[in-house]
Amino acid sequence: MRRPLIWLVCFLFLLPSVHAERFIPKSDLISKVLNIVDRVYVDEKRIVHNSMLEGALDRLSARVAPVLTKVEFKDGKVLINLRVDQFSQNFEFVAPKNTEGLNQILQAVARFTKKHLEADEKQETVDYSLINGFLRKLDPHSLLLIPEVYSDFTTNTSGNFGGVGMMIGLRDGHLTIIAPIDDTPASRVGLRSKDKIVQIDDESTVNMSLSDAVSKLRGKEGTKVVIYILREGYTSAKKYVITRALIKITSVESHVFTMKKKRVGYIKIKTFQKNTLTEINSALEKLDYDLQDFQGVILDLRNNPGGLLDQAIRVSDRFLDSGEIVSTAGLDSRGPRNVKSYSAHWFRSLMDIPMIVLVNNGSASASEIVTAALKKNKRAVVIGAQTFGKGSVQQVIPMPGGAALKLTTSKYLTPGRISIQSVGVTPHIAVLPRYVSPDLLRVTPPPASRAENSLDRNFAEWGDQVEVAEKTTFYLYEDETKPKNKDEKEDEEEDLEKMKQRRLEKDFLVQTARSILFTNQKQDFKHLLKTALDFVESEEKVQEEKMIGKFSEYSTDWKSYDTKSGAELISQAWMEIKGELDGKENWTEITTAVPANSEIRLYLQATNQGSTVLSRLLATTESKNFNFSDRQFAFGKLEKGETKQWYLPIKISESALSRNDLIRFKFTDQEKREVHQTEFSIKIQAKQRPIFFYTISTLEDGTHGSVGNGDGKLQSQETIAVRVDVENLGKGESGSLTLLLKNGEGKKVFLKKGRQKIDSLKTGEKQSIYFTFDLKSSPSDDNLDFSLDIIDGTFPLSSVNQQFKLPVQDSRTLVANQAPKIELRHPALTSKLQSYRISGDIFDDKGVKDMYIFNSKKKVFYKNFKDGQNRKKVRFSLELDLTEENNQIIVVTRDDENVRSQKTLYVRYSGSI
C-alpha cells in the first residue's frame, strides 16, 4: 500500500500546477470557416493551402504585438517558429494538402499564442487574425466580419432599424445633430439641426465615440431612450424622452427637372439594399412618369458600391421586358459550375421611358450588373467613366459569437456571358473631367488606381477584353460644391434638399443627361443614342474652347497643330522654396533637403532642339511618393529652339517624414507619343518631434470644479477633478494638443468635462489642465478605470494613449509616465545595396517592455526586454532586405503601461531588384 499512497500524494501535489495551466479550447471558428471555404468557395484552384498558411501567420504577427512568426516549406514539411512574448516554440508538420491539414496547423498556432498572451489581450483577436490572414490569400473581398462590423452591415443591407431618426456627427468634439429625419421620433419631439446631445440615458456623451452613440440611440422598436439636449438659448440641458420606432434607411433619392412644360426625372441609387426596388417604384410614382410631358429618366449609379444581388436583378427587371440580366457561376477544375441565369419579365417592365444611366469608377458590383443589363439589352444610354470592375458575388454567412463570414461564392456574367471582372463596364459615351488650375493640372485620363484591377489577387484571369466606347470626350471641371457667386452661401447645416438640388444644378454629367433627354424626340434606343452623341459632339467643342481659354491664362498655347515625329527635347528640373525678404514673399532655388512645413515650387523646363514643332507637349510624373506621383506639367506648343517652363506648387506638410524620393518625368506630345524622359530627386528633412511626460492626480477639495470633503478618498456622490500635467521633453515643438479623458466604468462615472485643448508646447514647456467627473457609485475593486489620450494634431505619431486606474482610497497617488523615445543611429535614406542595417536606441523613464519592426508591411523582428538588467535604455540592430524601390520600415516600442511609440523610415533602394 505504501507505493500507491506515494503516487497519490505526488498527484495531489501536482494538481495545483495542473489547474494553474490555462485551458485553451479548440477554435471552432477556424474549423467552421475552413469547412465552408472548402465547400462553397468560388474557385477551388485558388485554395492553395501553403499560401493560406503564410497569410494567416503574417496577419497574426501584424495584428498581435508580441507575436512573431517565421515559416519555411522544405521536403514536404512546414517548419514554423512561433514566438509569443518571451515564449517560443518550433513546430514541424506535414505541409497541408487540404483544409483539414491546414486546420490542424492553425489550431496548434492559435493554442500556443492564446496560452502565452497577457491576460488583458482579447483571445478572439487571434482567431480573427488567422482567419482574415488566410482569407486575404483567396481574394480581396472574402473576409471575416467581426461582430461590431457585422451588426452595422446587417443594418445597412436590411434597410431599417429601431432608432430615433436623426443624422449625428462630432462637431468641435461635441455630439451634434446634423439633421433630424422627417416624420421620425426625433423630428416629432422637436429636435433640431445643431442641437448638442450631452447625455444619453445615464451616460455622458463627453468623448463618447460616434459608433457608441449610435448603438445607444438605436434599440428595439417601442422602447424608450432619454437624451439631454443643449441648444442656443438654453441655460441648461433639456430632457427628451423618445420612443424608438422603425427607421428606414433610404437608398434612393429622386428629383424632377422642368423646362418649357417638359419634365425629366432623376433617380439616384446610393446602394442596393432590401427595400431598393420598393423605393424605386415610389420615386417613379412621385415623378408622375406616366404623364405625357415626362421626357425620360436619369438613373445615377455613380459611387454606388453595390449591395444585394437580388435587388440589382429586380431593378434591372423593372426597366426591361425581355433579355438576359445576369448569370452566376462557380468554378472548379473543369470550368464553370452551377451556372444560373436571370432573365427579364415583360409584366414587370417600364419600357416606354427614354433612359440614361450615369456611372463612374466608383460604380461597383450590383450597380455594374444593372448598368450592363440596361446597356447590353439596348434599354439605356450609359454615360460617364469606366466602372470599378467587380465581377464576383459574396455570400454573408452568420457565425458563432456574432461574427459573419463574407465569402466569394460565385462569379457573375453580364448578358452574352461576359465577365467585367477587373475591366468594368464601358459606357456608350465616356466622359472624364479635366482640371486646369495652378494647384491641379490633369488633361489626360487618370490611371485606374482605385479600381478592382489595383487590388491584390483580384480575379483578373476572369476578365474579358475592355470594350471601346462609342465616343470618348471630356469637360473642364469646375468645383461643383462651391457657390457660383458671392451671394450664394455654403452652409454645412443648410436644408439638405436645397443642398442636393444646388449640387445637381452644378453637376456636369447630370446636366448633360438632362439636356439630352429634353432634346430627344423619340422613345427608341437608337434615336436616343444618336441624340446623345450629337449633343456631346457639340458640347465637346464648347469644352475645348473653354480649356484652350483657360490655358491661355497661363501663357500656354493648347491648340491642336499638325506635327511630325522626330522631336528632340532637353529638360531640366529644379525647386524653389518660399521665404520672406524685407517683409515680402520671396522664392529662392533650393538644392539641399526641403524642410518639413515648407512651400515649394517644382519647376520643369523643356527646350525643343529638334527640327519639328511640338504640340500639346505634356510631362507626367511617376514617383513612389504619392505627393509627387501622377502630376502633370503643360507646355503646349513648343516651336523649334523654344524653351518653356511650368511649375507645380507643393506643400510639404509639417508632419512629413524624412525621405529621398525619385521623380520620373515622361514627356508626351499631341499624338501621345513619348518624346523624352528625365529624372529628379527630392529629399525631405523631417522636423524634430515632441515627447510628452505627463502626471495624473485627483482633487476633491472644492478646487478646480471638484466637490468633496478633501479627505483624499474618492467617494460616491463627489465631483472629482482630475489634474493632468503635460511637459514636452522632446526636441521639437508640438502641434495643437487635444487631451481626452475616457470613462471605462460605465454608469458609475458621469464625465462632466473630458476634453481639453493646449495650443502647443515648446521644448521644455509644461501646462496643467483639469477634467471633472461625478462619481455615482463606488467600484467593487477600489479602482476606477480610465484612459487618457494626448493627441497631437500635427504629429499624430507622437500622440499618447494610456489606460490607467485611479485608486479610490488614496487619490493622491500619481500616475506618471512618458512615451518611450526611439533614436535611430545614422539612418540612410538611400541604399545601393539590397542589405540594409537599421540600428538605434530606445529610452524610457521606467523601462522598455518590448519592440518590433515591420519591413514593407511584414513584421520581421520582435524582442522582449522584461528580463533585461537596464531597461531604461536598450539597443537594437537588425539587417533587413530591401525588396522594393521604396521601402517603409516601422519601428514600434512599448513601455510597461503599453504606451507605444513609433518611428517610420523610408529607404529608397537604387540598385536593381
List of domains in the chain: 22-138 (no CATH), 160-248 (2.30.42.10), 253-395+413-486+495-543 (3.90.226.10), 569-685 (2.60.40.10), 692-817 (2.60.40.10), 822-909 (2.60.40.10)
Note the pLDDT tens digit of each residue in 856-901.
Answer: 889 999 999 988 788 999 999 999 999 888 999 999 999 999 999 9
Mean pLDDT within 613-632: 93
Region of 23 please: left (phi>0), alpha (psi -120 to 50) or beta.
Answer: beta
Q: What per-residue confidence (pLDDT) applies to 11?
A: 38
Note the pLDDT tens digit of each residue in 232-264.
Answer: 888 888 999 999 998 888 899 999 999 988 999
Q: What per-residue confidence (pLDDT) applies to 7?
A: 42
Mean pLDDT within 116-144: 93
pLDDT tops 60 at residue 390:
yes
- Taking Cα atoms as reference points, which of 132, 144, 107 lies closest to residue 27? 107
Q: Is residue 390 annotated as a catalytic residue, yes or no?
A: yes
Give the pairing of strands 815-818 and 692-699.
antiparallel
Are the C-beta atoms of 164 and 186 separated by less than 8 Å? yes
Q: What per-residue confidence (pLDDT) applies to 336?
A: 61
Residue 178's pLDDT band, with cuts at 50, 70 and 90, is confident
Q: Is residue 736 annotated as a catalytic residue, yes or no?
A: no
Q: What per-residue confidence (pLDDT) applies to 19?
A: 37
Instruction: Report the alpha-carbon distance of residue 310 to residue 69 in Å, rounded.
Output: 43
When comparing pLDDT for 613 and 208, which is higher?
613
Mean pLDDT within 569-587: 94
pLDDT tops 80 at residue 16:
no
> Residues 842, 847, 850, 856: what is their CA dihedral angle, to the nearest 10 degrees?
-30
Residue 193's pLDDT band, with cuts at 50, 70 and 90, is confident
Instruction: Report the alpha-carbon distance of residue 834 to residue 15 in Å, rounded.
Output: 54
Q: What is the mean pLDDT of the chain?
A: 89
pLDDT tops 70 at residue 333:
no
DSSP 400: G
pLDDT tops 90 at residue 180:
no
Residues 6+ apart with CB under 8 A from 485: none
DSSP 362: T
pTM score, whole prediction:
0.85
Angle value at C-alpha 384, between 381 and 387, nearest 5 degrees: 100
Q: Which three cell numbers stand for residue 275?
A: 427595400
Residues 6+ apart with CB under 8 A from 526: 378
When comparing pLDDT for 902 and 912, which is higher?
902
Q: Which three cell numbers stand for residue 446?
A: 487618370
Q: What per-residue confidence (pLDDT) applies to 156?
A: 66
pLDDT tops 60 at residue 724:
yes
- Exactly one of 196, 248, 390, 637 is catalytic; name it: 390
Mean pLDDT within 643-661: 94
Instruction: Report the alpha-carbon distance of residue 552 to residue 546 in Å, rounded.
Output: 10
pLDDT tops 80 at residue 909:
yes
Q: Which three cell numbers stand for residue 730?
A: 522632446
Note the pLDDT tens digit of each residue in 796-845.
Answer: 999 999 999 999 887 666 789 999 999 999 999 999 999 999 999 999 98
Instruction: Report the alpha-carbon distance of residue 635 to residue 675 in Å, rounded.
Output: 13
Sign of CA dihedral 363, 364, 366, 372: positive
Reduced to 3 states, what is the DSSP secondary structure of residue 150?
Answer: helix
Residue 149's pLDDT band, with cuts at 50, 70 and 90, is confident
Note the pLDDT tens digit of each residue in 417-454.
Answer: 899 998 999 999 999 999 998 888 999 987 765 677 77
Q: What per-residue confidence (pLDDT) applies to 26?
A: 82
Give the pairing of strands 429-436 and 381-384.
parallel
Q: What per-residue confidence (pLDDT) applies to 490?
A: 47
Highest mean pLDDT among 3-12, 310-319, 745-754: 310-319
DSSP notation for 50-73: HHHHHHHHHHHHHHSTTEEEEEEE
Instruction: Report the alpha-carbon distance of residue 398 to residue 409 in Å, rounded.
Output: 15
When comparing pLDDT for 290 and 707, which is higher?
707
Q: Maximum CA pair distance of the chain?
A: 112
- Taking Cα atoms as reference points, which of 603, 633, 635, 607 lies closest to residue 620? 633
Residue 154's pLDDT band, with cuts at 50, 70 and 90, is confident
When comparing pLDDT for 219 and 337, which is higher?
219
Residue 480's pLDDT band, with cuts at 50, 70 and 90, is low
DSSP notation for 528-595: HHHHHHHHHHHHHHHHHHHHHHHHHTTT---------S---EEEEEEEEEEEEETTEEEEEE--SPEE
Give the pairing of strands 471-476 and 392-398.
unpaired
Q: What per-residue confidence (pLDDT) applies to 601?
A: 96
Note the pLDDT tens digit of each residue in 765-788.
Answer: 999 999 999 999 988 888 999 999
Mean pLDDT within 101-129: 93
pLDDT tops 60 at residue 672:
yes
- Exactly one of 316, 365, 615, 799 is catalytic; name it: 365
Q: Please give the C-alpha separations between residue 42 and each of 253, 332, 403, in angstroms, as whole numbers.
A: 34, 8, 21
